[in-house]
Chain A
């Protein structure tokens, strides 16, 4: 079974700065995909970025990038140039399972 750990219940970042949200996982699957989702206070869940376990390069999608360290079983999300609209819950997911989430607050 897969297990996802997000150790930061809450994070604060100053507007325009970068922030890293941590995610570690445990899986016995030889090949897997890692996902990050954003859930603003309005409630809708939005897919942000995907990383395949055999991808040679870290995934990037606009201001989002994944710091993927396979040996450490870590897939941290980096948000660059934070905006007020980035304030939300962020969830890491692997094969059907989601972590408990990190609440990010961007301060003006």
Chain B
């Protein structure tokens, strides 16, 4: 098992464009989480899945953000009509269950110009 994999590692996009990130969790983990982190801050919760069900979504996740986990394996996070304020590191994590520590991916760094 190679851990949690995120793709791409870096993404530069023009304001107004749509972007999509992918996360492949550890195969036996049924929980998958998305966070956003800006420099010097703690990870900010966006959403999480148990298998294919999206169980919680932050109010920070505006209608421009959507996440899917269609078969309970990999997940995608899409941001539509990107804004400069979306520039951040987007972190994906997975865990075996609620009371297990997360394994994080290396993140996707988004820069909106």
A47 to B42, CA, bound (A): 14
Q: Which residues of chain B from 80 to 113 have any CB-CB distance to chain A below 8 Å in the complex?
A: 89, 91, 93, 98-104, 106-107
Nearest residue, chain A, Cβ from B56: A96
Please state if A44 and B106 are interface contacts (CB–CB under 8 Å). yes
Contact among A33, A44, A46, A98 for B42, CB-based, below 8 A: A98
The number of residue pairs between A and B whose CB atoms lie closer than 8 Å in the complex comes to: 45
Contacts of A49 in B (CB 8 A): 101
A100 with B42, Cβ < 8 A, contacts A43-B107, A44-B106, A45-B91 known: yes
Nearest residue, chain A, Cβ from B100: A50
Q: How far is the CB of A24 from chain B (nearest CB, A)?
A: 14
Contacts of B104 in A (CB 8 A): 44-46
Q: How far is the CB of A86 from chain B (nearest CB, A)?
A: 18
Q: Contact size class for A?
A: 20 to 34
Please state if A99 and B101 are interface contacts (CB–CB under 8 Å). no
Contact among B91, B99, B102 for A52, CB-based, below 8 A: B99
Query: What secondary structure prevails in chain A residues at the interface with B?
Result: strand
Please state if B42 and A99 are interface contacts (CB–CB under 8 Å). yes
Q: Does B8 contact A (CB under 8 A)?
A: no
Contact among A4, A43, A47 for B102, CB-based, below 8 A: A47
Please state if A50 and B41 are interface contacts (CB–CB under 8 Å). no
Q: Does A35 contact B (CB under 8 A)?
A: yes
Residues of B within 8 A of A (CB): 33, 35, 40-45, 48, 56, 89, 91, 93, 98-104, 106-107
